[in-house]
Structure 1
Amino acid sequence: MTRDEPPVEDEAVASSARNARPSRWRMLRRDRAAAVGAVVLTAVALVAVLGPLFINDRAQRQDLDASLRAPSLSDGVYGLLGTDVLGRSMVARLIEAAGTTLSVAVPAVLCSLAIGSGIGLWAGYHGGRRESVAMRIADVILSFPSLLIAVVVLYVFQPSALNLVLILAVTRIPVYLRTARAEAAELRSRLFVDAARTFGTPSRMIIYRHILPIALPTLLTVATLDFCFVMLTESSLSFLGIGIQPPDVSWGLMVAQGRQYLQTAWWITVLPGLAIVLTTVSATVLAAWARIATDPAQRWRLTLPSKRRPAQAAVPPETTP
């Protein structure tokens, strides 16, 4: 063996370590609930993005002769889930409403995630007066219920999707600001951060290269849970009549429009409500899985067979005989 060639033992150890470390995809497949949640969310996203390309104007096309027609297989694909009071296809309206609901929830979560995380990491790393000012601003925003702020603002100004995104993004900024501040405040005293500071690395590069990659899994888990809250808030505001306005349609607006026909045409209200429940529950389950999968101290739980997880949930596998 020459001096330039790595030892065979080192290669074997490295190879066994790589094989012993499970991939995220493998851990997701082992958790059936999280896998189902991921499939549901993927299906909802695909329907929201690609669905409008196939339905054209069927979500707004009226046919009074087909008013309140029950779900049936005899009317084709667009009659599979019935029609509303104006004879519009529930399948087409659910597809269009999925795009509207996600077009409000996703931008609101991304905007609040980017702004709140940036301010929180900056304030947590520098500390002192900057941290105090950022936290007091977050406390002021959190002192008002987000739903109440949205109701007041949308009542004063014109209800629209843009205003809805802006108000939801502003009210959710403190959630990410406080989380990012706590992560940065804990990481700024670590040895690798002190080493980067000693070598003269600028503060913004330390935050971007060293602190953000460690805090990002936690922030993404919070964002997944916050997506449920934002979507439910949008549905609530649309149900109250100050969210999405006709002729646009969202799941919350569909529930509001069909509540007076609940006894005669249950599908108008139940189907969009079921879509809201499935999406939020799937996101919640996936967020719980992501929290464990991104934590090195808890990741071993997902590598156990599903039958052994409840019995050995408290002891890592390497400590068991």
Structure 2
Amino acid sequence: MSAPDDHTSPAAASSRTRPPRWWRLLGRDRGAAAAAVILALVFLVALFGRLFLGDRAVRQDLRASLRPPSLDHGFYGLLGTDVLGRSVLARLVDAAATTLSIAVPAVLCSLLIGSALGLWAGYHGGVRENVAMRVADVILSFPSLLIAVVVLYVFAPSAMNIVLILAVARIPVYLRTARAEAAELRSRLFVDAARTFGTPGSAIIRRHLLPIALPTLLTVATLDFCFVMLTESSLSFLGIGIQPPEVSWGLMVAQGRQYLRTAWWIAVLPGLAIMVTTVSATVLAAWVRLATDPGQRWRLTLPRKRRGERAAVPPEMIA
């Protein structure tokens, strides 16, 4: 008998052990893939939609007032018109750009500032950690929506003021998360080894702590994006957020609430846009948390029918 012929090459063996690419993992999860597609479409519409609209979002035509959704009046009449005859579809696209231009910068600012302060405080500990945590406690002791209402009532409501208020109010969320990650990692052996070789603290934070804490921080940022967008919509609904002639999804809901019985599409459609965007971001955040965790990523490689079976044990440990 001849010995079995082994045609397995090192490259083939390494390709079998290499973790799947993120887009392949995303394709195996239909819910997360659908959420990613929806969010991508929302961001593309927000970025490039205004280039094709012209003045249709503000163009008034009283003869076309309160037309229901229909294809009889062209593409921009697909979702109906409001009381001034403006296209609801065009205003949804314009409002998407306004809403995301507030939510995204607010989340990025709070993420960068809060994460940097949290990692710095958590790594060094002592007085610096105590001061940073007390500042975070003071900010968290006031409801963010209440702070926004008071500040915007005193100062002029504008997109810049809303971004600054929401960014400051959400900094403690990232500060506390980053501080907890850094406080747990600063006693690890690889951090002690870096200190032994004389690596400065800033380099340890940047090279060793940040890459480990980043997946958790990004997951928190994705969830916080939903909160910030809902807060902006609430402020606009209350009349102290985005002001006409600018438009946001929350402002569209506020302007259409008095026509709910006769022209439901004016308020319901922007409300659906808010709901679909926030739900998609929440679903994608849950997937990102698994995909970026080496200890949990194996769950995404299982067939859909087996993901609920023996979920606590990796497949290589199952007999």
TM over 0.5: yes
What is the TM-score normalised by the length of structure 1?
A: 0.95
Name the aligned partner's letter for residue 51 of structure 2.
L
Name the aligned partner's letter for residue 192 of structure 1.
F
Shift of 1:9: 7.6
CA deviations on 1:256-305 (whole Å, 9 max, x unpaired) are 00000000000000000000000000000000111111111111110001
Counterpart of 2:54? 56
Shift of 1:13: 4.6
Q: For 1:277 and 1:218, how far apart are their aligned partners in 2?
A: 24
Q: 1:288 aligns with which of 279, 286, 289?
A: 286
Q: For 1:9 and 1:92, how far apart are their aligned partners in 2?
A: 57
Shift of 1:11: 5.5
Q: For 2:16 and 2:247, how far apart are their aligned partners in 1?
A: 54
Find out whether 1:169 has 2:167 as its counterpart. Answer: yes
Q: For 1:191 and 1:167, how far apart are their aligned partners in 2?
A: 40
Counterpart of 1:260? 258
Find out whether 1:191 has 2:189 as its counterpart. Answer: yes
Q: For 1:314 and 1:267, how far apart are their aligned partners in 2?
A: 46
Shift of 1:217: 0.7
CA deviations on 1:142-188 (whole Å, 9 max, x unpaired) are 01111011001101111110000000000000000000001111111
Q: For 1:15 and 1:294, how far apart are their aligned partners in 2?
A: 20
Counterpart of 2:112? 114
Q: Which runs of 4+ in 1 moved over 2 A?
A: 8-16
Q: For 1:12 and 1:63, how far apart are their aligned partners in 2?
A: 66
Name the aligned partner's letter for residue 304 of structure 1.
L
Where 2:208 maps in the other structure, the secondary structure is: helix
Q: For 2:12 and 2:277, how far apart are their aligned partners in 1?
A: 44
Query: 1:206-245 counterparts in 2 under 5 A?
Result: 206-245=204-243
Shift of 1:73: 0.6
Counterpart of 1:96? 94
Could you say if the C-alpha distance between residues 12 and 195 of structure 1 is closer, same or farther in structure 2, counting changes exceeding 3 Å?
Answer: farther
Counterpart of 2:4? none
Where 2:232 maps in the other structure, the secondary structure is: helix
Counterpart of 1:5? none
Shift of 1:189: 1.2
Where 2:178 maps in the other structure, the secondary structure is: helix
Counterpart of 1:310? 308
Counterpart of 2:79? 81
Q: For 1:138 and 1:166, how far apart are their aligned partners in 2?
A: 16
Q: For 1:230 and 1:72, how far apart are their aligned partners in 2?
A: 33
Shift of 1:208: 0.6
Q: For 1:270 and 1:12, how far apart are their aligned partners in 2?
A: 54
Q: 1:72 aligns with which of 65, 70, 73?
A: 70
CA deviations on 1:23-78 (whole Å, 9 max, x unpaired) are 11111111111000000000000000000000011000000000000111111110
Q: For 2:13 and 2:206, how far apart are their aligned partners in 1?
A: 32
Name the aligned partner's letter for residue 141 of structure 1.
I
Name the aligned partner's letter for residue 38 of structure 2.
V
Name the aligned partner's letter for residue 17 of structure 2.
A
Counterpart of 1:273? 271
Runs of 5+ unmatched residues, structure 2: 1-7
Q: 2:21 aligns with which of 20, 23, 34?
A: 23
Q: For 2:112 and 2:135, how far apart are their aligned partners in 1?
A: 17
Q: For 2:287 and 2:221, how far apart are their aligned partners in 1?
A: 13
Count of matched residue positions in the alignment of Structure 1 and Structure 2: 312
Q: For 2:9 and 2:48, how far apart are their aligned partners in 1?
A: 52
What is the TM-score normalised by the length of structure 2?
A: 0.96
Q: 2:148 aligns with which of 150, 153, 161?
A: 150
Counterpart of 1:205? 203
Identity value in percent: 79
Counterpart of 1:4? none
Q: For 2:70 and 2:23, how far apart are their aligned partners in 1?
A: 38
Query: 1:244-255 counterparts in 2 under 5 A?
Result: 244-255=242-253
Name the aligned partner's letter for residue 194 of structure 1.
D
Shift of 1:94: 0.2
Name the aligned partner's letter for residue 148 of structure 1.
L
Q: For 1:9 and 1:73, how far apart are their aligned partners in 2?
A: 60
Q: For 2:208 and 2:24, how far apart are their aligned partners in 1?
A: 27
